[in-house]
Amino acid sequence: MIVLAHNTRDNRMERYELGLRSPMPYANETLRVGEFRGSSRSELLWTTSATMESWTAFRRLWGRPIPVPYAFKRVGEGGHGQQSQHYAGTAFDVGQNLAAAGRTQMRLLAQSSGLWSYVEPVYLTPSWVHFDRRIGPSACAAGGYPVQRQGGVGVYVCVLQDALNVAVKSQLGIDGRFGLMTHEAVKIFQGLNRLTEDGIVGCSTWQVLMAQSVGRG
């Protein structure tokens, strides 16, 4: 398995070759690669150091194991919304094994801990708890992924490269670095979809790209 981790302190992508039973980078033995991979079939995963550090701290606050049915997913596999943080490797859906009172306790702890960027309200996730360490601001007012442009680094570049490979068969290497080839692939996609051909992935480009790629790989 290849795991890409965006070191958010140094703004660089790190590459690890790990087994399914290996600890995730920055998770300090609290989460294994196979748990983070979950139901995904991918041999390539990505996340951020901040996400894994938040997970580790939250796991210690909770004080006991947290089964992880859903964490990472590839864009082409689908299973989540069109700009889901699961495709960025920054989100967890947990607590399905708990009674309602236990999920309430976990949700309140996630909210009060200050470890997560977003904790989904109970009316959206009545039978599980969703929290994530997303990076903003979002390109769209309604939420989602941040603007991406040439020179950028991180998990949202991984999502972009993955989605372009699904939507227009760009054959990009997924490395989390927005270089010239990714820039040109974005412009080709924009031209095919009558979007402004500037190579910048803003709200409209994200919306059209994810609509054409989620669950279609």
Domain residues of the chain, as ranges?
2-132, 155-213
CA–CA separation, 99 vs 80, rounded Å?
A: 23
Query: Tens digit of pLDDT for each residue in 74-95?
Result: 999 999 999 999 999 999 999 9
- Ordered DSSP codes for 54-82: HHHHHHHHH-S----SB----GGG--S-T
Residues of the chain falling short of pLDDT 50: none
Q: On the CB side of 199, how many CA atoms lie within 13 Å of its CA? A: 12
Burial class (CB in 10 A: 0-12, 13-18, 19+), 77: buried
Backbone angles phi, psi at 123, to 5 degrees: -70, -20
- Residue 217's pLDDT is 80
DSSP state of 196: -
Claim: this prediction has a pTM higher than 0.95: yes
State the pLDDT at residue 121.
Answer: 97
**Topology adopted by domain 2-132:** Muramoyl-pentapeptide Carboxypeptidase; domain 2 (3.30.1380)
pLDDT value for 6: 98
2-132 shares its CATH topology with 155-213: no
Structure tokens at 15: 């590459």
Residue 63, phi-psi category: left (phi > 0), alpha (psi -120 to 50), beta (remainder): left
Task: Please tell me the CATH code under which domain 155-213 is placed.
Answer: 1.10.101
